Structure 1
Amino acid sequence: MRMILLGPPGAGKGTQAVRLVERLGIPQLSTGDMLRAAVTAGTPVGVKAKELMDRGDLVPDDVVVGIIADRIELPDAKSGFILDGFPRTVAQAESFDAMLAEKGLKLDAVIEFKVNEAELVDRIVKRAKETEARGEPVRKDDNPDVFKTRLEAYRKQTAPLSVYYSEKGQLKTVDGMKPIDEVTEAIKGILGR
């Protein structure tokens, strides 16, 4: 099962990804973690990425897709993977689709978490207060102003992926504002397991 989870920050993708990892036994792939691992391992793509990062440049899409291409060859990803946070743009999605096609693979599911943005901001404020009340450090991205900036970036860069995957007939949606267990059940319904 190869899948992408789409939706704005705070929509519940990470929470559901953890449940999918446990239920399906496939890894959740983080492009940030993969980049750091490739750099540490000194893979050819990692060496290229390190040169770019050392100069302060952004890692281009082809390098990120190359790192994903290497990662999905590892044994734990042979039966599938979950991507959350990638692709971020239509250009990345097109490169990713081309790479999968070269490998004779395809996506099984693209699930978008639909949310009410005003309620989402309230959810993040509540999460920050609960974290603080437990005496734990609050994530920088749980600051309401930072969160609103991330939400705007999502709207501009990532939201067009909904149209891209919808036009390909791959997009399924869940109501990300429902309780966690109900979202889990909706995803089970989409996946058929």
Structure 2
Amino acid sequence: MLNIVLFGPPGAGKGTQSQKLIARYNLVHLSTGDLLRSQIAQGTELGLRAKKLMDEGLLVPDEVVIGMIESQLANNTSAAGFIFDGFPRTVPQAESLDALTQRYNTGVTCMVALEVNEEELVTRLLERGKTSGRPDDQDETKIRKRVTVYNTETAQVAGYYATQGKFHALNGIGAIEDIFGQICAIIDRHQGAATSVTDSQEATDEVKA
């Protein structure tokens, strides 16, 4: 199973690249924000718990988010893989995701982070704000704060996946197709490595048999 963690600050182009990756590799898109909104709209137990916390101004705890992700894994056992958008954001979340995927005999294939300098991000988001209708895309102070929060969070998670040989950073400035090609090259290398390990293990098992 192919499981990609796609990271990047607001305005880096994650949405565009996610859709292209989903189409190419037949992945299921898992956005924690979308999951929260969906669970709340459906009135599920997890959704009601999340809504209660959010109404009180509290953060939704990791176990609730992980529970939502697990329900998606359980409901899509025949999927070719998943693309995790905006999750995990902390090392404990990354550890929880590893433990969860292992229960489904899979794991995170790689993490790809799109890197874009702050001034370019501000320019992109202010431009996007003209049509997105999102107030946080129209306020430069809020944009810079979002970028700072992202940089603080992703540094820790990047280190976690780097120790596993799974972290890759790419320049997020350039032609969309060029960036997409670079992401695919990274994914294909990891897929090839996984296939080689599987073939080697199967050959070893055959010899033992």
Determine the structure 2 residue equivalent to 1:22: 23
Task: State the identity %.
Answer: 40
What CA RMSD, in Å, does the superposition of the two structures yield over aligned residues? 2.1
Q: Indicate which of 128, 134, 158 corresponds to 1:139.
A: 134
Separation in 2 of the partners of 1:187 and 1:162? Answer: 16
Secondary structure, aligned partner of 2:113: strand
Letter in 2 for 1:182: D
Residue 34 (str. 1) matches residue 35 (str. 2): yes
Say if 1:121 and 1:148, in contact at 8 Å, map to a contact too.
yes
Say if 1:27 and 1:77, in contact at 8 Å, map to a contact too.
no
Separation in 2 of the partners of 1:113 and 1:85? Answer: 12
Determine the structure 2 residue equivalent to 1:157: 153
Say if 2:25 and 2:80, in contact at 8 Å, map to a contact too.
no
Determine the structure 2 residue equivalent to 1:69: 70
Q: Give the direction of change, closer, same or farther, for the CA distance of 1:126–1:39 in structure 2 (3 Å limit).
A: closer
What TM-score does the superposition give when structure 2 sets the normalisation length?
0.79
Say if 2:101 and 2:107, in contact at 8 Å, map to a contact too.
yes
Letter in 2 for 1:139: R
Say if 1:90 and 1:161, in contact at 8 Å, map to a contact too.
yes
Letter in 2 for 1:119: E
1:1-36 superposed Cα distances (whole Å, 9 cap, x missing partner):
211001211111111001112222222111122123
Secondary structure, aligned partner of 2:37: helix
Say if 1:89 and 1:160, in contact at 8 Å, map to a contact too.
yes
Q: What are the ranges of 5 or more consecutive residues in structure 1 without an aligned counterpart?
A: none
Q: Give the direction of change, closer, same or farther, for the CA distance of 1:50–1:141 in structure 2 (3 Å limit).
A: closer
Letter in 2 for 1:4: V
Determine the structure 2 residue equivalent to 1:3: 4
1:29-82 superposed Cα distances (whole Å, 9 cap, x missing partner):
111221232234444433432443343322100110111011122238722111
Residue 170 (str. 1) matches residue 162 (str. 2): no
Q: Give the direction of change, closer, same or farther, for the CA distance of 1:142–1:163 in structure 2 (3 Å limit).
A: same
1:78-120 superposed Cα distances (whole Å, 9 cap, x missing partner):
2211111111111211111111122221111211112222222
| Pairs within 5 Å for 1:77-88 | 78-88=79-89
Q: What are the ranges of 5 or more consecutive residues in structure 2 without an aligned counterpart?
A: 192-209
Q: Give the direction of change, closer, same or farther, for the CA distance of 1:139–1:56 in structure 2 (3 Å limit).
A: closer
User: In proportion to residue count, which structure has more helix?
Assistant: 2
Letter in 1 for 2:151: R
Letter in 2 for 1:89: T
| Pairs within 5 Å for 1:79-118 | 79-118=80-119
Q: CA deviation at 1:148?
A: 0.4
Secondary structure, aligned partner of 2:74: coil
